[in-house]
C-alpha cells in the first residue's frame, strides 16, 4: 500500500514490448499493480452517488481528475443558486435588517 499514491500522481509509464529492458518492465508492472489496488480501494470506499456522474477510466489518476471536474461544476452551480437567491431576496420590513441578510441566503 505504500506505493498507492504512485498511480494517482503519475501517468502510465511506457508500456513494455517484448524486447524492452527489465527496468522498463519493472516500472510498468509496479505502476499497473498500484493502479489496480488504488482503483479497487476507490471503488470500495467512495459512495455510489459520486460514481453516478463519473465515467469509467483505466487509471486512478484519470478517475480522480474526473471527480475533480464533477465537483468544480457542482460548486459553480451551487454558487449560482445562492447568488440568485441573495439577489432576488427582498426585505419586507419585518424585524432587523442585520438579522434578515444572513438568513435570506440560507436554503
Contacts of 22 by beta carbon, 8 Å cutoff, 6+ apart: none
List the domain boundaries for the chain: 4-104
Report the alpha-carbon distance of residue 60 to residue 42 in Å, rounded.
8
Instruction: Give Cα 72 to chain centroid, integer Å.
Output: 8
What is the C-alpha to C-alpha distance for residues 87 and 77, in angstroms, rounded to an integer?
15
The predicted-structure confidence for 31-77, as pLDDT tens digits, reads as follows: 999 999 988 888 888 877 777 777 888 898 998 888 888 777 777 77
In the structure grid, which three cell numbers stand for residue 6, read together?
504512485
What's the pLDDT tens digit per position in 85-95? 767 777 666 66
Task: Report how far residue 87's alpha carbon sits from residue 52's, in angstroms, rounded to the nearest whole number.
Answer: 32
Give the model's pLDDT for residue 4.
Answer: 74
Are 61 and 8 in contact by the 8 Å Cβ rule? The answer is: yes
What separation, in Å, do the N-terminal and C-terminal C-alpha atoms of the chain show? 42
pTM: 0.61
Report which of 46, 44, 37, 27 is spatially closest to residue 5, judged by C-alpha positions: 37
Amino acid at each position: 500500500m505504500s506505493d498507492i499514491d504512485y498511480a494517482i500522481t503519475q501517468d502510465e509509464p511506457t508500456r513494455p514490448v517484448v524486447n524492452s529492458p527489465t527496468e522498463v518492465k519493472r516500472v510498468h508492472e509496479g505502476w499497473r499493480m498500484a493502479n489496480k489496488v488504488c482503483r479497487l480501494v476507490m471503488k470500495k470506499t467512495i459512495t455510489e452517488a459520486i460514481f453516478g456522474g463519473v465515467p469509467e477510466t483505466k487509471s486512478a489518476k484519470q478517475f480522480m481528475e474526473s471527480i475533480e471536474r464533477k465537483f468544480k461544476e457542482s460548486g459553480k452551480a451551487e454558487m449560482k443558486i445562492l447568488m440568485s437567491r441573495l439577489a432576488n431576496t427582498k426585505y419586507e420590513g419585518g424585524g432587523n435588517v442585520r438579522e434578515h441578510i444572513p438568513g435570506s441566503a440560507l436554503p
